[in-house]
Amino acid sequence: MALIEVTGLQKTFEYTKKEEGLKSSFHSLFHREKLYKEAVKGIDFSLEKGEMVGFLGPNGAGKTTTLKMLSGILFPTGGQATVMGYVPWERKKDFKMRFAIVMGQKSQLWWDLPAVESFTLNRHIYEIDEAEYRKTLGELTEILNVEALMGVQVRRLSLGERMKMELIASLLHKPEVIFLDEPTIGLDFISQKRIREFLREYNREKQTTVLLTSHSIGDIEDLCRRTIIIADGTIVYDGELKKINSLFGERKRIQVSFETEEAAQRDLSRFGTVCSREGVQVVLEVKREDVREISRMILETLPATDFNISDIPVEEGIARLYTGRNSQ
Amino acid sequence: MKEIKKHLILWGLLIHNSLMSQLEYRANFFTGIAMELGYFLAKIVYMIVIYKTGVPINGLTPDEVLVFFGTYMIATGPYAGLYMMNLFDVGRQVQTGDLDLLLVKPVSLQFMLTLKRSDLSIFTVDVLLGIAAVTVGLVRMAVPVGLLDMLGYLGFLLSGSLIAYSMFLLPQVLAFRLVKTNSLAGLVDSSWDFNNLPMGIYSRLVQQIGVFVLPIFVITNFPALFLLHKMEPLYAVWGIAGPFVWFLLTSFLFRLGLKHYQSASS
């Protein structure tokens, strides 16, 4: 049986319509038109123990809402889900003892105190034995290289350092399932890299099941073999990230540089679809099976000075899925 | 029992963390104490007027009124120092979705939400000044206070605090549905000051409402009535049962309200 099982999960939010201006604000004091937003529209997926899965989607696609339902923060409107055999929104204590959620935009640390005070609080919240706590804390602070920051107030830490402390606070009780909601948001490149390295290592060593949302394709590419993409409340892709472009047919990109701009302005449609034209450079999209023949034709008939063949970038495939252009 | 012990340890840690957070900002810490002393001085003006005129209020001598006033100050300690600031913050936490990370912790959400922050300086100042006022009143009356009187007084203070906690939490439960409830919280908070004088000054109808419907008088009047041996038997029963009724009712409504929690977009 899968560790996380989601079947037909739905969430609809109720909200009220608000027209522009003060007059409508007065009007809404007495009359409000109710509207409904289907944030999650009956999604299905499952995760096995030890899997680390990326959960991608544009803003408002339903990623965080799904994570909040799986961690018991929100009640669903319909459907079923179990995490380690528990129904999350029943909010049983045993369930809460076995999972963690880290939200990149929310903090569980006491702002004015060193993070270690929040760790002590979590030790008691999660009923962790003193010796075990010391051992785990020692390991985590060493791996994340924050031993020297244990006496520094949270408000004085950089964003990257704070995120490391958030991770420690969430991992002290050795959760079997971790939900990570944009853990690298706002971090610089180096901090992102370090957090990713830590998560990869932690998952490998502890066999923790991780569901990770991020807007950074780098996070997902680096950490997750499997990616679930959600757009407008519906799952539009579930598989390996690098295979995403196979959805759009087997196509390749040919980038050609010409001697002059005039040469680059010629009609090249007989070779393939022109994706972009910039100065002396043109990018064409062609069918994979035609690459060899078209390359030969270009080199023989056109004054090309440079030539490069590549896959369609993953980001573009994802963007197509986000905007619902997967039929192209 | 294990859960109660766990929550008591956690409460100790939360108070410890709150105090450390307060001490980070020295000027604010001392200003807070000064403000609380100012609040006491403003309230003691009533007492000065009562002593100057020397007229009994509804049969109560100025010394007896001082015992009521001191009890009011003692009860204000836990109200203002331990939980009211948290109750005022419930709406904000619901509105911003800050509640999310408390909801996933394996502890009582009501406990964490309502007792997370405290202000030990307010608590200490109010309780000490209150004890001083009660002591002066009792000494001046030369009333002998036995162990039973002390235990009963403490018991009614505790039950009064429990009823105050439950009663003032109740409007905050609406935050799960209405999101913003600070006006309502302010309205309810203003009723606290009904307590700073004996309930005998109000009409019988107001007294009955204030004891059995919105039991605001149970909070500070009951301990003083007990200490001065002026408590009616029915009040004593209600003083013991009422807090449990209110606490269970509020906790039930809290859990019910929580089902409406919508979080906030992140």
Average pLDDT of chain A is 89
B180 touches chain A (CB under 8 A): no
CA B35, B36, B39 angle in degrees (round to 5)?
Answer: 90
CA A13, B255, B86 angle in degrees (round to 5)?
Answer: 95
What local confidence, expressed as pLDDT, does residue B3 receive? 92
Cβ neighbours of A145 (radius 10 Å): 12
Q: Which two tokens stand for residue A261?
A: 């701009």
Q: Which of B241, B75, B249 is nearest to B158 (CA)?
A: B75
% of residues, chain A, pLDDT over 90: 50
Q: How far apart are CA A249 and CA A274, in angstroms?
A: 17
Q: How far apart are CA B67 and CA B77, in angstroms?
A: 16
Report whether pLDDT(A327) > 50. Answer: no
> What average pLDDT does range A246-260 have in this prediction?
82
Q: Which two tokens stand for residue A308?
A: 């490069």
Alpha helices in chain B (DSSP H): 2-23, 26-53, 62-78, 84-96, 100-103, 109-115, 120-141, 147-173, 175-178, 182-190, 204-208, 216-227, 233-258
Which ipTM did the prediction report?
0.86
> What average pLDDT does range A150-173 have in this prediction?
93
Secondary structure letter of residue A248 according to DSSP = G
- The count of C-alpha atoms lying within 13 angstroms of the C-alpha of B231, restricted to the half-sphere facing its C-beta, is 26
% of residues, chain B, pLDDT over 90: 50
What's the pLDDT tens digit per position in B81-116? 999 999 988 888 888 888 899 999 999 999 999 999
Secondary structure letter of residue B200 according to DSSP = G
Q: How far apart are CA A282 and CA A279, in angstroms?
A: 8
Q: How far apart are CA A209 and CA A223, in angstroms?
A: 12
What local confidence, expressed as pLDDT, does residue A233 receive? 92
Q: Which two tokens stand for residue A191?
A: 């901090």
What local confidence, expressed as pLDDT, does residue A203 receive? 92
Tokens 């050609």, located at residue: A256
Which CATH code for domain A249-317? 3.30.70.250
What local confidence, expressed as pLDDT, does residue B48 receive? 85
Average pLDDT of chain B is 88
Domain with CATH 3.40.50.300 in chain A: 48-77+85-245
Identify the helix (H) or strand (E) that includes residue A53: strand A52-56
Q: How far apart are CA A90 and CA A75, in angstroms?
A: 9
Report whether pLDDT(A270) > 70. Answer: yes
Q: Do A106 and B9 touch (CB under 8 A)?
A: no
- Residue A153: pLDDT band with limits 50, 70, 90: very high
Q: Do A106 and B97 touch (CB under 8 A)?
A: yes
What local confidence, expressed as pLDDT, does residue A319 receive? 81
The three-class DSSP label of residue A288 is helix
Enumerate residues 6+ apart whose C-beta is below 8 A from A181.
A63, A64, A67, A101, A102, A103, A104, A105, A213, B266
Report whether pLDDT(B32) > 70. Answer: yes
**pLDDT top residue among B12 and B257:** B12
B59 touches chain A (CB under 8 A): no
Name the residue of chain B whose CA is nearest to A90's CA: B259
> What average pLDDT does range A11-29 have in this prediction?
80
CATH for A48-77+85-245 (2.30.40.10, 3.40.50.300, 3.60.10.10, 3.40.50.620): 3.40.50.300
* Bridge partner residues of A284 (DSSP): A254, A274
Greatest Cα pair distance, chain A, in angstroms, is 76
Q: How far apart are the first and last CA of chain A?
A: 36
Report whether pLDDT(B158) > 90. Answer: yes
On whether the CB atoms of residues B108 and A93 are closer than 8 A, the answer is no
On whether the CB atoms of residues A45 and A70 are closer than 8 A, the answer is no
Residue A14 CA from chain centroid, whole number: 26
The radius of gyration of chain B from alpha carbons, rounded to an integer in Å, stands at 19
Identify the helix (H) or strand (E) that includes residue A193: helix A189-206
- Residue B179: pLDDT band with limits 50, 70, 90: low
What's the pLDDT tens digit per position in A119-139? 999 999 999 999 999 999 999
Q: Do A74 and B262 touch (CB under 8 A)?
A: yes
Q: How far apart are CA B53 and CA B231, in angstroms?
A: 26
> What average pLDDT does range A187-199 have in this prediction?
86
- Residue B265: pLDDT band with limits 50, 70, 90: low
- Distance from the Cα of B86 to chain A's closest Cα (Å) equals 15
Q: Which two tokens stand for residue B147?
A: 């162990």
Report whether pLDDT(A246) > 90. Answer: no
Q: Which of B103, B105, B94 is nearest to B171 (CA)?
A: B94
Q: Do A74 and B261 touch (CB under 8 A)?
A: yes
Report whether pLDDT(B229) > 60. Answer: yes
- Distance from the Cα of B171 to chain A's closest Cα (Å) equals 20
Q: Which two tokens stand for residue A125?
A: 């919240």
- Distance from the Cα of A117 to chain B's closest Cα (Å) equals 7
A181 touches chain B (CB under 8 A): yes
C-alpha to C-alpha distances, B60 to A201, A261, B50, B51, B66, nearest whole angstrom: 74, 102, 11, 12, 10
Q: Do A73 and B265 touch (CB under 8 A)?
A: no
Domain with CATH 3.30.70.250 in chain A: 249-317
Enumerate residues 6+ apart whose C-beta is below 8 A from B42.
none
The three-class DSSP label of residue A212 is strand
> What average pLDDT does range A50-55 have in this prediction?
94
- Residue A85: pLDDT band with limits 50, 70, 90: very high
Name the residue of chain A whose CA is nearest to B98's CA: A106
Report whether pLDDT(B263) > 80. Answer: no
Q: How far apart are CA B87 and CA A170, in angstroms?
A: 26
- Picking from A65, A113, A119 by the largest number of B CB atoms within 10 A of its own CB, the best residue to mutate is A113
C-alpha to C-alpha distances, B219 to A150, B75, B213, B241, nearest whole angstrom: 43, 7, 13, 13
- Give the strand pairing for A281-287 and A251-258: antiparallel
A166 touches chain B (CB under 8 A): no
Secondary structure letter of residue A94 according to DSSP = H
What local confidence, expressed as pLDDT, does residue B266 receive? 56
Which residues in A lie closer than 8 A to residue B17 (C-beta atoms)? Answer: 110, 113, 117, 121
Q: Which amino acid, B165?
A: Y
On whether the CB atoms of residues A241 and A219 are closer than 8 A, the answer is no
Do you know the residue count of chain B? Answer: 266
C-alpha to C-alpha distances, A303 to A138, A253, A260, A262, B67, nearest whole angstrom: 63, 19, 9, 11, 102
- Residue A328: pLDDT band with limits 50, 70, 90: very low
Identify the helix (H) or strand (E) that includes residue A71: none
